[in-house]
């Protein structure tokens, strides 16, 4: 059994340092303006500069969370933040768009978030397999007007994990959406490779709790043995 953790929505130096000190496998920085955990590029640069260079060489991977960001904006983000090794696309990005990004940045791993509310939502996975390195299944959030920026993650809402039985692709997946520490055993049973945690380690949006993060780390290690 294998299960890694991703702590997402990091906004503070002390929380980022905790993640590197405890070798959390994945850390998410959110570049979506509609998020309560939104980071400007310069803020993210400042955060990463706060980490000692020897720790930056460890196995904590920086994941940039983006929503319908233009290719030129992505180019700028990666140029300013060369420590980004993975981009998590959380919007309506098409296969063509993801291919174009991959051609420009072949060294960057691509994760594609798929909002789930029913079995049919998994159908797009077969189309995207050729370019995506991992899918991330999250809770579907209703968005009536796409001109309005709404929270597309970190909502603390869980979707029906029984729907995962309709996922037939061999592509590994991460699981997000209202994950709390007492759910880690259940997450592992879904065969997810990564538990993506955001609100479950917060005292308020963007403010993480060291005690809650430590509890997740200990519980995950105990679960996977």
Q: What is the pLDDT of residues 208-220, one digit of tens each?
A: 999 999 999 999 9
Report whether 28 contacts 10 (CB < 8 A): yes
**Domain holding 91: CATH number?**
3.20.20.70
Please give the pLDDT value at position 206: 94
The H-or-E segment that residue 54 falls in is helix 53-56
> Is residue 56 scored above 90 in pLDDT?
no
> Is residue 142 scored above 80 in pLDDT?
no
The predicted model gives 25-53 an average pLDDT of 95
> Is residue 182 scored above 80 in pLDDT?
yes
pTM, entire model: 0.92
Give the burial string for 149-170 (b: 16+ CB within 10 Å, else e): eebbbbbeeebebebbeebeee
The predicted model gives 164-191 an average pLDDT of 95
Q: Of 152 and 205, which is predicted with more confidence?
A: 205
The predicted model gives 15-30 an average pLDDT of 96
**SS3 of residue 146 by DSSP:** coil
Please give the tally of structural domains in the chain: 1
- Boundaries of domain holding 104: 4-224
> Is residue 144 scored above 50 in pLDDT?
no
Half-sphere exposure of 114 (CA within 13 A, CB side): 27
Please give the pLDDT value at position 157: 75
What mean pLDDT value characterizes the chain? 92
Q: How confident is residue 58, by pLDDT bands cut at 50, 70 and 90? A: confident
């Amino acid at each position: 059994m294998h299960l890694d953790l991703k702590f997402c929505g990091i906004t503070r130096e002390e929380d980022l340092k905790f993640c590197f000190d405890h070798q959390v496998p994945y850390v998410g920085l959110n570049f979506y303006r509609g998020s309560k955990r939104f980071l400007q590029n310069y803020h993210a640069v400042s955060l990463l500069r706060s980490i000692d260079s020897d720790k930056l060489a460890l196995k904590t991977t920086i994941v940039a969370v983006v929503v319908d960001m233009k290719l030129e904006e992505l180019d700028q983000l990666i140029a300013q933040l060369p420590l980004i090794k993975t981009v998590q696309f959380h919007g309506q990005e098409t296969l063509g768009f993801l291919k174009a990004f991959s051609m420009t940045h072949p060294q960057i791993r691509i994760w594609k978030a798929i909002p789930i509310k029913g079995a049919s939502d998994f159908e797009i996975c077969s189309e995207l397999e050729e370019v995506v390195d991992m899918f991330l299944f999250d809770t579907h959030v209703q968005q009536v007007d796409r001109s309005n920026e709404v929270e597309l993650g970190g909502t603390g809402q869980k979707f029906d994990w029984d729907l995962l039985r309709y996922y037939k692709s061999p592509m590994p997946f991460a699981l997000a959406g209202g994950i709390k520490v007492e759910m880690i055993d259940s997450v592992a049973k879904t065969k997810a490779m990564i538990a993506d945690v955001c609100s479950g380690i917060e005292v308020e949006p963007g403010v993480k709790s060291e005690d809650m993060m430590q509890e997740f780390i200990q519980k995950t290690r105990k679960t996977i043995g």
